[in-house]
Amino acid sequence: MVLRLGHRIPRDLRVTTHVCLTARAFGADGLILADVVDTTLEKTILDVCKRFGGGFWIRMGEPWRQVVKDWKSKDGEIVHLTAYGISLPEAMKPIKVTSGPKLVVVGAEKVPGEVFEAANWNVAVTNQPISEVSALAMFLDRYFEGNQFSMEFENAELKIIPSAHGKKVVNLAEPES
């Protein structure tokens, strides 16, 4: 599960959309948009899910402190992705060992110090200024060990078929009888 902090409407619509699409494609169950409700974002993501399938969900407007508190009360663990954290290769070892479900927290810009303290691990995908979109992709890639390349998305209406030089899309939706 991914928790997206700091989303500002409408400024962050495109980047947060990219965060959501990445979370979905790389195997996260769903994403919570903390504190705000962005119906444009929700509509975009639900439309992708309808067309391309899978069970990815999006929730919005929940205070992040409550999400964190609830998660921890159920023995969940928190990974916060930040340029200030421990480098991903080193951080992954303890993260993979523990069995608790993981909440991956990504911020937009200024992330409150409380998040750093609440996280079980603060993880950096390089200690350079980067994008939360690429940080999330890299973390999920390492966590799920590249499994995103063999995921199936059930109930898809459309499916892209890999092509060396073209664009092949198959319409899987049932024809109306």
Q: Which residues bind a second copy (CB under 8 A)?
A: 11-12, 14-15, 18-19, 21-22, 24-26, 48, 52, 83-90, 116-117, 119, 121-122, 124-131, 133-134, 136-138, 141, 146, 148-149, 151, 153, 159-169
Q: Would you say 60 or 83 has its CB closer to a second copy?
A: 83
> Helix 13-25 to helix 132-143 angle, to the nearest 10 degrees?
10
| 142 and 95 Cβ atoms separated by less than 8 Å | no
Query: Can you tell me whether residue 54 is helix, strand or coil?
Result: coil
Torsion angles phi and psi, residue 25, rounded to 5: -65, -25
The closest alpha carbon to 32, from 10, 7, 58, 53, belongs to 58
CA atoms of 17 and 68, how far apart (whole Å): 22
Q: Would you say 103 or 133 has its CB closer to a second copy?
A: 133
Min CB(167)–a second copy separation in Å: 4
Q: Would you say 48 or 62 has its CB closer to a second copy?
A: 48
Q: Would you say 13 or 62 has its CB closer to a second copy?
A: 13
Min CB(176)–a second copy separation in Å: 25
